[in-house]
């Protein structure tokens, strides 16, 4: 369910909009954070990007190995198979 903030911003000539500082603080969005873009019918939804495990899709306890994201559960299962 969407909740209106009452804030309206115009798109500039380069297609950009500014996310107000109040919303960035509330949503813990820092400068240089990545946002993922979703489309739902006629809605555009921005979500703070969280890398997920390439094997199971879990976004919790993710570690990086050679540029890939793996959750600790999958990493443990892989290490058991190798042993």
Per-residue model confidence as pLDDT tens digits over 4-51: 889 999 999 999 999 999 999 999 999 999 999 999 999 999 988 888
Please check whether residues 8 and 42 belong to one and the same domain.
yes
Q: pTM for the full model?
A: 0.61
Please check whether residues 70 and 45 belong to one and the same domain.
no
**68 Cβ contact partners less than 8 Å away, ≥ 6 residues apart:** 54
How many domains in the chain? 2
Structure confidence at residue 79 as a pLDDT band (50, 70, 90):
confident
CATH number of the structural domain spanning residue 19: 2.10.260.10
Please check whether residues 60 and 31 belong to one and the same domain.
no
**Contacts within 8 Å (CB) and 24+ apart, 67-75:** none
60: containing domain? 51-83
Determine the pLDDT at residue 48: 87
The CB density around residue 70, as the number of other CB atoms within 10 Å, is 23
Determine the pLDDT at residue 16: 96
Please check whether residues 38 and 19 belong to one and the same domain.
yes
Give the DSSP per-residue string, 5-51. Answer: --------TTS--PPPHHHHHHTTPPTT--EEEEEETTEEEEEE---
Determine the pLDDT at residue 13: 97
């Amino acid at each position: 369910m969407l909740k209106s903030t009452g804030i309206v911003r115009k798109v500039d000539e380069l297609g950009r909009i500014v996310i107000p500082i109040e919303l960035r603080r509330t949503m813990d969005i820092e400068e240089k954070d990545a946002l993922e873009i979703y489309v739902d019918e006629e809605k555009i939804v921005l979500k703070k990007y969280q890398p997920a495990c390439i094997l199971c899709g879990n976004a919790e306890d993710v570690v990086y190995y050679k540029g890939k994201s793996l959750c600790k559960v999958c990493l443990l299962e892989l290490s058991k198979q190798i042993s």
